Amino acid sequence: MSGGGDDYKREESVVLIVIVSLAALSLLSLIAAFAYYCYITRKVSRRLNSHQLPKRSSSPAPLPLPPPVIPPQGKESPSSNSASDGAAAGALVVGAERGVQLFGYRQLHAATGGFGRAHMVGQGSFGAVYRGVLPDGRKVAVKLMDRPGKQGEEEFEMEVELLSRLRSSHLLGLIGHCSEGGHRLLVYEFMANGCLQEHLYPNGGSCGGISKLDWPTRLRIALEAAKGLEYLHERVTPPVIHRDFKSSNILLDKDYHARVSDFGLAKLGSDKAGGHVSTRVLGTQGYVAPEYALTGHLTTKSDVYSYGVVLLELLTGRVPVDMKRPPGEGVLVNWALPMLTDREKVVQILDPSLEGQYSLKDAVQVAAIAAMCVQPEADYRPLMADVVQSLVPLVKNRSASKLCNPNAQASRPLD
């Protein structure tokens, strides 16, 4: 009996040792998991706090920023009725932050002639835009944001954050901003020819407006706007989704080169291939992708749809929504999509002001690109990189033919 008792005690000791060992291993595993969690949490926290948007290897090198201007001691720019008076009053810049310049409200008030109507160059959904002149002679556009409450503050912060870090010749450059008291102002490069919408619809979108934008210029604008979206989608991580891409947010310089502007509604997209972010539905009627409008699921393909609508505007000279049109023609995408892949019908939908300027082959190809971009199913839409690759040869070929025969006047569409 005693031998059996000893065996039992030994087995009991072995079981106890195994249990203690397993408990120790479990404790060590928990400690290791907790340490790894702390490490990941600190890493994510640092990234969120810095709001970094690291560029991929294919991204261009950052453009040099102008040095900050230090105001002279003891001087303050008074309010004035002219931009030149504001320039003479002294330096407008009161500091610099993260590569952009900080301005005081009174200084920008002076630079824009007191935000007078004579200096107003545009009126957007987020506020009026005024022409101004900095002390160094640079012409600028100053957006006086008037969206109240939390939404207005979020839009202001998002635009400052993004444009302080993104660098592309196809995006409108942010020179500085003002956040003083209740005032929120953004200072941009001045674009002498305003927005694309103004040139497509000289009479405000009515049927009688005749655009003076010729075919080669429209092709180039389409390409440069596509390059702007390609940069946002493909060249930064995580990708940036514009969310309000439209013809009024494509600005033109004195030579009609295009820049994508207005990033107040922009969102950071998903890092995962085919991933989405869920957000409330915002944007402009006629440009919003159907799947985003229905579900709130936002992807870069949502911007591709909006780009397709702009491409249709360039092709047809029609606004995205015009319920004064005949039945069936009020919504541009619904009217145009069935005809975009039919060679003979493409000619019927082209802007009449383009008569005699385009190659029919080129017009059919641009129409096919637009058709792919406005597909109802997001998965069927191309990447913006594919759109750029499709447009580049069209723009090059048209530019080359114009150089070879600059005085040629076509009396009908070229075959």
- Active-site positions read 244
Long-range contacts of the stretch 113-122 (C-beta < 8 A, 24+): 113/80, 113/81, 113/82, 113/83, 113/86, 114/79, 114/80, 114/81, 115/142, 115/144, 116/81, 119/83, 121/194, 122/194, 122/195
Q: Are strands 183-189 and 120-124 parallel, antiparallel or unpaired?
A: unpaired
- Give me the phi and psi of 17, to 5 degrees please: -65, -45
CA dihedral sign of residues 104, 107, 112, 113? positive
- For residue 250, give the nearest of 208, 323, 303 by alpha carbon: 303
CA-angle at 173, arms to 168 and 179, nearest 5°: 135
H or E segment to which residue 128 belongs: strand 127-133
Which H/E stretch holds residue 181? none
Q: How many separate helices (H) and strands (E) can be counted in the chain?
A: 12, 13
Chain CA centroid to CA 246, Å = 10
Q: How far apart are CA 378 and CA 301, in angstroms?
A: 6
Q: What is the CA 64 to chain-centroid distance, rounded?
A: 21
Dist CA 219 CA 314 (whole Å): 8
Q: How far apart are CA 271 and CA 264, in angstroms?
A: 21
Cα separation, 332 vs 343, in Å, equals: 18
